[in-house]
Homo-oligomer: A and B are copies of this chain.
Amino acid sequence: MAKIKAGVLGATGAVGQRFIEGLKSHPWFELTSLAASERSAGKKYREAAKWRLESELPDDIAEMTVVNVDPREVDADIVFSALPAADAMSVEPAFAAAGCAVASNTSSYRMVEDVPLLIPECNHEHLDIIKVQREKRGWEGFLTTNPNCTTIMFTLPLKPLMKFGIESVHMASMQAVSGAGYEGVPSMAILGNVIPYIGGEEEKCETEPQKILGHFDGERIINANFSISASCHRVPVMDGHTEALWVKMRDNPTPEEVRQAMLDFDPGLDDLPTSPKKALIVKDEPDRPQPRLDRMRGNGMSVSVGRIRSGIRFICMGHNTVRGAAGASILNAELLVKKGLL
């Protein structure tokens, strides 16, 4: 089978590089187009971007010429968007209108009614809203989104707890600097320090999960009915968001019941190449998960959970630029293929 042509919008930034890393030897997608701002367009990728990942940049990609973020210049069946939110607002619809599938990591359209906000393990059935979207907007292509990186880490473990009747969630995050992009956090701000504020993050964490864990009734998504109160903090960690959760549930399950529900969680996505063997890994050691030791589990796509104790309290942790960003979009795209949308 011929590979599907894939482009990356915003290819030079931190998440753009993770997209390239995830797509460079993908079995279903072929990287055909790298798009970035005017400053980069026309240059070889090697010159336009300073490669900052620990994995190596393949020579053939380094030699690709960067194009403008314009549907006429991008040759692709699907584009992965790592654009700044302001740019995405106008650019992503233009690609969808031009017949492209858009898998966006940007926040602009996440909470828009007819746009699916996907974690394949949680709500793959929300994809059906694309019919509504296309009809309403008259697009040949379509637009899908994945959640904020902090949202993903705790929404995944909430999924198997839905059956206990979630009533309220408290979440305190300890987030890695890579979540803010390469220039996002100056070293003088964070070396040996904690910054107890990340602009807009708490709002995203308090609204996205209810949509993701909501019910699609054929026409619209009805949000899940529980409250979330978040407190978000930056810590001196390169990659990996660690989150402390309190979940109050109607059925008042024991920690062991919660643990078992997480162990039993099987989203049935083994046929997707980027899907980890286990979406949720339960750690039984008292001091895990830890970002340094656990963020690369499942090639960076697993969320690790530990310290499940009365409250119900637990810790969850995952790789914010893989599971929480580029990998999330790529998994969404694989789901599109599986569902015949691509």
Say yes or no: is A14 at the interface (Cβ < 8 Å to chain B).
yes
- With both beta carbons as reference points, the residue of chain B lying nearest to A296 in the complex is identified as B54
Task: Kindly identify, within residues 159 to 202 of chain A, every residue whose CB is under 8 Å from any CB belonging to chain B.
Answer: 170, 172, 174, 177-178, 182-197, 199
Contact B185 A290 (CB under 8 A): no
CA distance A192 to B54 in the complex (A): 13
CA distance A13 to B54 in the complex (A): 26
**When each residue 279-318 of chain A gets 1 if its CB lies under 8 Å from chain B and 0 otherwise, what string results?**
0000000111111110011000000001100010101010
Say yes or no: is A233 at the interface (Cβ < 8 Å to chain B).
yes
- The smallest C-beta distance from A171 to any residue of chain B, in angstroms, reads 9
CA distance A182 to B174 in the complex (A): 23
Say yes or no: is A214 at the interface (Cβ < 8 Å to chain B).
no
Contact A14 B188 (CB under 8 A): yes
Chain B residues within an 8 Å CB radius of A195: 287, 290
Contact B182 A183 (CB under 8 A): no
Contact B54 A292 (CB under 8 A): yes
Contact B290 A194 (CB under 8 A): yes
A–B complex contacts, Cβ < 8 Å, 25 sampled: A52-B293, A54-B292, A56-B297, A174-B174, A174-B233, A178-B188, A184-B186, A188-B238, A190-B191, A191-B236, A191-B238, A191-B292, A192-B291, A193-B292, A194-B240, A194-B317, A195-B287, A196-B244, A196-B288, A196-B315, A197-B287, A197-B307, A229-B246, A229-B313, A238-B292
Contact A192 B293 (CB under 8 A): no
CA distance A186 to B56 in the complex (A): 21
Say yes or no: is A123 at the interface (Cβ < 8 Å to chain B).
no
Contact B190 A231 (CB under 8 A): no
Chain B residues within an 8 Å CB radius of A290: 193-196
Contact A187 B194 (CB under 8 A): no
Contact B188 A186 (CB under 8 A): no
Say yes or no: is A235 at the interface (Cβ < 8 Å to chain B).
yes
Contact of A231 among B188, B191, B244, B317 (CB under 8 A): B244
Say yes or no: is A237 at the interface (Cβ < 8 Å to chain B).
yes
Chain B residues within an 8 Å CB radius of A197: 286-287, 307
Say yes or no: is A242 at the interface (Cβ < 8 Å to chain B).
yes
Contact of A174 among B53, B170, B235, B286 (CB under 8 A): B235
CA distance A193 to B193 in the complex (A): 13
**When each residue 219-246 of chain A gets 1 if its CB lies under 8 Å from chain B and 0 otherwise, what string results?**
0000000000101010111101010101
- With both beta carbons as reference points, the residue of chain B lying nearest to A244 in the complex is identified as B231
Contact A231 B52 (CB under 8 A): no
Chain B residues within an 8 Å CB radius of A186: 182-187
